[in-house]
Chain A
Amino acid sequence: MNLREVNMTELIVQKEPLPWWAAGLLLGLVQILAVALEGPLGVSTQFVVADAKVIKEVAPEYTAEHPLISNEKYQKFGYGWWLDVGLVAGAALAALALGRWKLRATTVWWRRNHNSKVFTRLIAAFVGGFFILLGARFAHGCTSGQFASGWSQLSLSVVPFTITLFGFGMLTARLVYPKSPEIEK
Chain B
Amino acid sequence: MSTQVILGLFVGGLFGAALAIAALADPDKIIGTLRLKDLHAMRTIAVFVLVGMFGVWVLEAAGAAHLSIKPATVVSVLIGGALLGIGFGMTGYCPGTGLACAAGGRIDALVTVIGMFAGALAYILIYPQVAVPIERIADYGSVTLPEITKVSRAAWTIPIVVVGALVLLVTRPKPAK
Q: Chain A residues in contact with chain B, CB under 8 A? A: 13-14, 16-18, 20-21, 23-44, 47-48, 50-52, 55, 66-69, 78-95, 98, 100-109, 118, 121-122, 124-177, 180-181, 183, 185
For the residues of A in contact with B, the DSSP-based class is helix
Show 7 residue pairs from A and B whose CB-CB distance is below 8 angstroms, ordered by the A residue: A29-B51, A35-B59, A121-B108, A128-B88, A139-B84, A153-B68, A154-B146
Q: Which 10 A-B pairs have the closest CB atoms?
A: A24-B47, A129-B115, A28-B51, A86-B12, A82-B8, A139-B80, A172-B89, A135-B83, A90-B16, A168-B85
B73, A89: Cβ atoms under 8 Å?
Answer: no
- Please give, as numbers and ranges, the residues of chain B lying within 8 Å of A183 by CB-CB distance: 32, 37-38
A108, B94: Cβ atoms under 8 Å?
Answer: no
- Please give, as numbers and ranges, the residues of chain B lying within 8 Å of A145 by CB-CB distance: 70
Contact of B16 among A42, A94, A129, A134 (CB under 8 A): A94
A154, B156: Cβ atoms under 8 Å?
Answer: yes
Please give me the residue from chain B that is nearest to A137 by CB atom: B123
Among A16, A34, A90, A98, the one with the most B-chain Cβ atoms within 10 Å of its Cβ is A90
Number of interface residues of B (CB under 8 A): 127
Nearest CB in chain B: distance from A70 CB, A: 11
Q: Which B residues between 14 and 36 are near A, CB-CB below 8 angstroms? A: 14-29, 31-32, 34-36
- Please give, as numbers and ranges, the residues of chain A lying within 8 Å of B84 by CB-CB distance: 131-132, 135-136, 139, 142-143, 165, 168-169
B99, A86: Cβ atoms under 8 Å?
Answer: no
Contact of B22 among A23, A44, A157 (CB under 8 A): A23
- In the complex the two chains form, what is the Cα distance from A83 to B10 in whole Å? 7
| A51-B121, A142-B96, A170-B34 known; A36-B18 Cβ under 8 A | no
Render B78-104 as a binary contact track against A, CB cut-off 8 A, 1 for contact. 111111111111111111111111111
B108, A134: Cβ atoms under 8 Å?
Answer: no
- In the complex the two chains form, what is the Cα distance from A33 to B7 in whole Å? 10
Q: Chain B residues in contact with chain A, CB under 8 A? A: 4-29, 31-32, 34-40, 43-56, 59, 64-74, 76-109, 111-124, 127-128, 131-132, 134, 140, 142-146, 148, 153, 156-157, 168, 173, 176
- Please give, as numbers and ranges, the residues of chain B lying within 8 Å of A36 by CB-CB distance: 59, 64-66
A55, B22: Cβ atoms under 8 Å?
Answer: no
- Please give, as numbers and ranges, the residues of chain B lying within 8 Å of A154 by CB-CB distance: 53, 56, 144-146, 153, 156-157
- In the complex the two chains form, what is the Cα distance from A174 to B33 in whole Å? 11
Nearest CB in chain B: distance from A136 CB, A: 5
- Please give, as numbers and ranges, the residues of chain A lying within 8 Å of B88 by CB-CB distance: 128, 132, 143, 165, 169, 172
- In the complex the two chains form, what is the Cα distance from A133 to B51 in whole Å? 27
A138, B19: Cβ atoms under 8 Å?
Answer: no
A68, B127: Cβ atoms under 8 Å?
Answer: yes
Nearest CB in chain A: distance from B149 CB, A: 9
- Please give, as numbers and ranges, the residues of chain A lying within 8 Å of B115 by CB-CB distance: 125-130, 132-133
- Please give, as numbers and ranges, the residues of chain B lying within 8 Å of A140 by CB-CB distance: 70-71, 73, 76-77, 80
B119, A164: Cβ atoms under 8 Å?
Answer: no
- In the complex the two chains form, what is the Cα distance from A103 to B28 in whole Å? 15
Contact of A133 among B9, B16, B25, B119 (CB under 8 A): B119
A157, B15: Cβ atoms under 8 Å?
Answer: no
